[in-house]
Amino acid sequence: MLKIKNLKKYFGGLKAVDDCSFEVEKGKITALIGPNGSGKTTVFNLISGILKTKSGKIIFDGNEITNKEISEISNFGISRLFQQARLFNNLTVNENLSIALNKEDTKFLKNLSLKSNLCNEEKEHINKISKLVGIDEFKNKLARNLSYGQKRLVEIARAILNPHKLLMLDEPVAGVNPKLKKEIAQLLLNLKKKGETIFLIEHDMNFTLKIADHVIVMDEGKIIAEGNPKKIKDNPKVLEAYLGD
């Protein structure tokens, strides 16, 4: 579904992404891991259009999306969860979720004015995803009154609601408690069963190796290994670069 070919991105003399090539298979959970500064988030930013590549190609669902605008890439069917919280604190959970279904910029301010014009089918879809993610009980709370873990769940729900073919998750369990990690892991596995394609970055190796079908490892801007979780866990290069063994 997603093909990265010889991707490069330099910041001055720093080779943040250095000739990377890999694929994300449809209907699978693919994880991109590596130590801090290895280039993972830069890859995500290149795919989603936040950064422009120096060279290389990004092919998504048969379309080249290299260096296209963020809105164009989103319209092709890529939905992304970011590392940092991006909720509207003065809106309720339900209102935050309703924005994800509205792709028209001209209606954005109407959403912020809390006058939802969603049809019954869209409202039902929001309710369905709220129950799936486990946020139904606090969907009428203001986002500012949520715990960090609750906010993370809302952001995951919003990413799922955004019309997509590929779900990109940047550290979905960073900073959340062990119980919530297990819930998110089960949620992602359930989404895969429903046919979702998931591409994630995560520092928690235990979490990643339990749910990923395929793991890609970066270090210093390069891909140093890839394969199934067992293969990655036993790879000496990975142990040295990522685990410090």
Mean pLDDT of 150-176: 93
**Which of 46-60, 63-77, 230-244 shows the lowest per-residue confidence on average (mean pLDDT)?**
230-244
C-alpha 50 chain-centroid distance: 14
Mean pLDDT of 156-185: 93
pLDDT the model gives residue 114: 45
Which two structure tokens, joined as six digits, stand for 71?
A: 């809105």
How do the domains of the chain map onto residue ranges?
2-77+164-243, 87-152
pLDDT the model gives residue 54: 87
Mean pLDDT for the chain?
A: 89
Confidence of residue 86 (pLDDT cuts 50, 70, 90): confident
Mean pLDDT of 228-243: 84
pLDDT the model gives residue 8: 96
Question: Does the model's pTM come out above 0.85?
Answer: yes
Residue written as tokens 């930013």? 45
Mean pLDDT of 157-173: 93
Nearest to 1 by CA among 78, 85, 56: 78
pLDDT the model gives residue 105: 42
Instruction: Tell me how far apart the alpha carbons of residues 121 and 233 are, in angstroms, rounded to a whole number.
Output: 44
pLDDT digits (tens, 9 = 90+) for 193-229: 999 999 999 988 889 999 999 999 999 999 999 999 9
pLDDT digits (tens, 9 = 90+) for 100-140: 876 544 344 455 544 456 788 888 999 999 999 999 999 99
**Which of 76-90, 101-115, 134-148 shows the lowest per-residue confidence on average (mean pLDDT)?**
101-115
pLDDT > 70 fraction of the chain, expressed in percent and rounded: 91
Q: What are the start-end ranges of the E strands in the chain?
A: 2-11, 14-24, 29-33, 55-60, 63-64, 78-81, 166-170, 197-201, 214-219, 222-227
If one looks up domain 2-77+164-243 in CATH, what number appears?
3.40.50.300
pLDDT the model gives residue 153: 94
Question: What residues contact 54, with CB distance under 8 A and at least 6 apart?
Answer: 8, 9, 10
Nearest to 47 by CA among 199, 216, 172: 199
Instruction: Tell me how far apart the alpha carbons of residues 69 and 48 are, in angstroms, rounded to a whole number.
Output: 8
pLDDT the model gives residue 15: 93
